[in-house]
Chains A and B, each alone.
Chain A
């Protein structure tokens, strides 16, 4: 968080480059800062695998909810003339749908979180570069004052 004191504001008002840099950084901090720094604290592989596993758990929970709704909706039709073969077919279909969903979301979320990590890392890199530029400007100012 960049805080400008009143006396500093007057000093930097003349330095357009510094103001631009600080504004850019403040906008970044406001929109992405916290989350990006949190994300970039992980290695890409760790971040992706952690979030993919979390997604798979969520998907399992979501699938159970969908299954419950489908069962509520078509319980009569499902249980009508229920025998072993029909039960086997229903179970196989349900398992097939579940695994298909897991694979689809596993692959999709892997890509999604990899991309998210890469983007966050790039933004953080730019932010640190801007910070070092700002530091240089401050040092230069300090030397000039001395």
Chain B
């Protein structure tokens, strides 16, 4: 766990250093995924569905605010719908307009929620959205998330019934428009998913804000469970066919992403929780204080110690011994204590070197001669 926390700190400092590039890269990848998905699913206009257009739009949107990406995606969808049938493009434009008037006019900055919502449905992990939005946001996020669900099902419906919707005559166009409106607004699977997303976000957000231990984990798991139960119930009651594999896998993925989000945004140490009580003139206070987990990244400094290379020949060894004995002499003359250990080592080194080189015998011989 401490290793993970150290990694988290390292990642945070890395992000702090390169935040501009990282956020732009994320924006570019999101754009690429979003425009690629739109062009892959409803690429009715050949020019707009080319790789060049996808990458170009992603690059342009990388350097502009998120709201521009949403506008560009809406425009791309409308262009493709127009290539298929003009009335469908008109109805879709009306739906986009209604979304703008009732919500995005007030908070255009929240338009990224719609993008994430559409992407989670497009990637077949729909229940990741309520858990992520419930943990990171507020209950009001149900509105942009719901708009995302509507947009996804609108695109899906057009993709599945493209041949039926393609019409040229005036009467056929009117019929197509009526059928599209009816199908989009009365799609039971869409309303079921919308309900699940709304309930999921509200449950996750409500549990997350409780003061119980491990609130984020409980919120993630309960959100995933609620989504699975609601989807299964909807399947049974409405005879809808949301695949159970998608239901379970996306719930598991959602819970896992919830755990990751908790680790990144809410790492606290519940074992050191303090419950304190105090009062003033008007209130009694029951306060639960949970300390944050903070780990300082060990600052490792690599110190390069270059070993002094002994010069070749006997003379050098003698010098070394002389230096060592000199140091030993100095050490002996110096103060005892910490220095004495070093001096002992030096004396031992001097003796061992003298023995190895036979210098001690020479000295003995000289002494004998004298």
Within 8 A of B (CB), among A57-80: 58-59, 61-62, 65-66, 68-70, 72-75
A112 on the B face (CB < 8 A) = yes
CB neighbours (8 Å) of B102 from chain A are: 59, 62
CB neighbours (8 Å) of B177 from chain A are: 72
- The contact of A69 among B91, B105, B106, by CB within 8 Å, is B91
A65 touches B97 (CB 8 A): yes
Within 8 A of A (CB), among B260-308: none
Q: How far is the CB of A70 from chain B (nearest CB, A)?
A: 8
CA distance A37 to B12 in the complex (A): 34
Within 8 A of B (CB), among A22-80: 55, 58-59, 61-62, 65-66, 68-70, 72-75
- Interface pick from B179-187, B197-205, B329-337: B179-187
CA distance A74 to B181 in the complex (A): 9
Q: How far is the CB of A122 from chain B (nearest CB, A)?
A: 19
B95 on the A face (CB < 8 A) = yes
Chain A residue nearest to B101 (CB atoms) is: A62
Q: How many residues of B contact A (CB 8 A)?
A: 15
CB neighbours (8 Å) of A109 from chain B are: 106
B98 touches A72 (CB 8 A): no
A73 touches B181 (CB 8 A): yes
CB neighbours (8 Å) of B91 from chain A are: 69, 72
B229 on the A face (CB < 8 A) = no
A69 touches B178 (CB 8 A): no
A-B contact count (CB 8 A): 36
- The contact of B98 among A66, A74, A112, by CB within 8 Å, is A66
Chain A residue nearest to B105 (CB atoms) is: A58
CA distance A61 to B102 in the complex (A): 10
B94 on the A face (CB < 8 A) = yes
CA distance A74 to B178 in the complex (A): 9
CB neighbours (8 Å) of A62 from chain B are: 97-98, 101-102
Q: How many residues of A contact B (CB 8 A)?
A: 16
B101 touches A68 (CB 8 A): no
CA distance A58 to B104 in the complex (A): 12
Q: How far is the CB of B301 from chain A (nearest CB, A)?
A: 27
A73 touches B98 (CB 8 A): no
CB neighbours (8 Å) of B105 from chain A are: 55, 58
B185 touches A61 (CB 8 A): no
Q: How far is the CB of A73 from chain B (nearest CB, A)?
A: 5
A73 touches B182 (CB 8 A): yes
A72 touches B101 (CB 8 A): no
A68 touches B94 (CB 8 A): yes
Q: How far is the CB of B190 from chain A (nearest CB, A)?
A: 13
A65 touches B98 (CB 8 A): yes
CB neighbours (8 Å) of A68 from chain B are: 94
Chain B residue nearest to A75 (CB atoms) is: B178
Chain A residue nearest to B100 (CB atoms) is: A62
CB neighbours (8 Å) of B101 from chain A are: 58-59, 61-62, 65
- The contact of A72 among B97, B106, B181, by CB within 8 Å, is B181
Chain A residue nearest to B106 (CB atoms) is: A112
CB neighbours (8 Å) of B94 from chain A are: 65, 68-69
CB neighbours (8 Å) of B181 from chain A are: 69, 72-73
CB neighbours (8 Å) of A66 from chain B are: 98
CA distance A55 to B103 in the complex (A): 11
CA distance A112 to B105 in the complex (A): 12
CB neighbours (8 Å) of A69 from chain B are: 91, 94-95, 98, 181, 185
Chain A residue nearest to B180 (CB atoms) is: A72
CA distance A113 to B91 in the complex (A): 31
Q: How far is the CB of A62 from chain B (nearest CB, A)?
A: 4
Q: How far is the CB of B67 from chain A (nearest CB, A)?
A: 14
Q: How far is the CB of B292 from chain A (nearest CB, A)?
A: 26
5 pairs of A and B residues whose beta carbons are closest in the complex: A62-B101, A72-B181, A73-B185, A73-B181, A58-B101
A-B contact pairs, 29 of them (CB 8 A): A55-B105, A58-B101, A58-B105, A59-B102, A61-B101, A62-B97, A62-B98, A62-B101, A62-B102, A65-B94, A65-B97, A65-B98, A65-B101, A66-B98, A68-B94, A69-B94, A69-B95, A69-B98, A69-B185, A70-B185, A72-B91, A72-B177, A72-B178, A73-B181, A73-B182, A73-B185, A73-B186, A74-B182, A112-B106
Additional 5 contacts, C-beta under 8 A, given A58-B105, A69-B95, A72-B181? A61-B101, A65-B98, A65-B101, A69-B181, A72-B177
